[in-house]
Structure 1
Amino acid sequence: MPSTLLLVHGGLADDMDADRFWTRPGITGGLRRDGRTVLVPDRLREPPDWSAEAAHLASFLPGQPVVVVAGSNGCSAAVRLALDYPRQVDRLLLAWPATAGDAAVDARAASVPRALLRGETLRGVADADLATLALPVGVLPSVPDNPFHQRRTVDALLRLVPGCTELPGCPEPPRPGFESHVDDLLASIARFAGR
């Protein structure tokens, strides 16, 4: 039986939600057509920190471990989920991980609580914590990269996370041009999730 997938959408203090990030671009439907159980919750609208995001996501988890597929800033929430609830996350796919520590990018998020912007490679997570992840982790870069999803973030994750593997990249949803990459993304997620 295929693994249950938990999809964690991107966005940071904006109007992004699971429907706009995963469903309308065809990702949710494609995974379900593949016979997978897909959980697609919305993230917290105004979390005080990433641990609150992780606790919110944990409330949607079933009784067995899941494969977590996270996009953009959702990668911070997903890593926090894997660190805080390690028995409930079987695999972790970090797609288009958002870059932390870029002053120009952070300046655009002036209304976001500082606790959500802090971090080293990923917001809300220390690099030392990334090095403790003891589960299969994949990283999928944004192609082409952009100021919010920089290649340096992917390279750092590949160095820091034990056994981390890189999957073929593509633009992130809902960016223009993503629609021509849906099938390739679905195939990458299926291969990573296995079963």
Structure 2
Amino acid sequence: MKGAPVLLIHGGLWDATDSELFWYRPGIMAGLEATGLTVEAPDRPRQPASWSQEVTEFGALLASGLLGPKPVTLVGASNGCTVAALLALECPTAIGRLLLAWPATGGDPEVNAWARAGLIERGATPEIADGLLFGETLRGVTDAQVASLELTGVLVGVLPSVPENPSHQRKTVDELLRLVPSAVELPGCPEPPRADFAPYRDQLVATLHEFAS
């Protein structure tokens, strides 16, 4: 019998990383599969023109039935939290649980300026960069949309970056917990691509397994 289905959406913004770097090399994928979960971790579009493009592609994956008929546990990481939150709003009946892990900080002028310069350096047009960075607590999502997650019936969890850093600030976690009062905070750790993540691998796998089960 297949275990509970989990869909992992890696972090990064416009060609910055992929699922291999985020989920496979740090050992998260293997660890979750060893617990009996059914896990998929596809790459996000490398150079999306908009967040809606990413949501459409992941929505098609959910509709394909690849993960089976059970409601999916959706794990968004860093900037992948934007895709995950929008997907949960668009397809709430297909998603039973939503984890916003290491949510990337939106609405911060200094951080956005740095991110915008990086996007343009990697080939994004100014229009695409501005569209991806627009938002409030989360990029690409209004706070009203985040608050409406409370009405979907989806169980929401938030996992902070510990220690926090400019791209993943504690204030973002606090605001998400305020906007979605029923959300639960899970034990935090560094983001997987970071060099200091390795000692937290088993803790994170156990946290994700417990949340998805």
More helix by share: 2
Matches within 5 A, 1:45-84: 45-61=46-62, 62=65, 63-64=68-69, 65-84=71-90
TM-fit CA distance, 1:47: 1.6
Matches within 5 A, 1:79-98: 79-98=85-104
Q: Does 1:141 align with 2:141?
A: no
Q: Give yes or no for contact 1:41–1:60 (8 Å, CA) kept in 2.
A: no
Amino acid paired to 2:195: P
SS in 2 for 1:91: strand
Q: Give yes or no for contact 2:74–2:98 (8 Å, CA) kept in 1.
A: yes
Runs of 4+ residues deviating >4 angstroms: none
TM-fit CA distance, 1:60: 2.0
Unmatched 5+ stretches in structure 1:
none
SS in 1 for 2:138: coil
Q: Which residue of 2 aligns with 1:156?
A: 175
TM-fit CA distance, 1:191: 1.2
Q: Give yes or no for contact 2:37–2:209 (8 Å, CA) kept in 1.
A: no
SS in 1 for 2:141: coil
| Distance in structure 2 (CA, Å) of the matches to 1:177 and 1:119 | 29
TM-score by length of 2: 0.88
Q: Give yes or no for contact 1:99–1:149 (8 Å, CA) kept in 2.
A: yes
SS in 1 for 2:61: coil
Larger Rg: 2
TM-fit CA distance, 1:48: 2.0
Alignment match of 2:133 (pick from 95, 114, 117)? 117
| Distance in structure 2 (CA, Å) of the matches to 1:156 and 1:3 | 29
| Distance in structure 2 (CA, Å) of the matches to 1:48 and 1:164 | 30
Q: Which residue of 2 aligns with 1:131?
A: 147
Amino acid paired to 2:181: P
SS in 2 for 1:147: coil
Amino acid paired to 1:79: A
Q: Which residue of 2 aligns with 1:105?
A: 111
Matches within 5 A, 1:39-50: 39-50=40-51
TM-fit CA distance, 1:58: 1.7
| Distance in structure 2 (CA, Å) of the matches to 1:156 and 1:66 | 25
Matches within 5 A, 1:8-19: 8-19=9-20
Give CA-to-partner distance per residue, 1:126-146, whole Å, 9 cap, x none. 111111112100000000000
TM-fit CA distance, 1:107: 1.3
Give CA-to-partner distance per residue, 1:95-131, whole Å, 9 cap, x none. 1000001112111222252111011110111111111
| Distance in structure 1 (CA, Å) of the matches to 2:15 and 2:108 | 19
| Distance in structure 2 (CA, Å) of the matches to 1:165 and 1:51 | 27
Q: Give yes or no for contact 1:139–1:166 (8 Å, CA) kept in 2.
A: yes
TM-fit CA distance, 1:2: 3.0
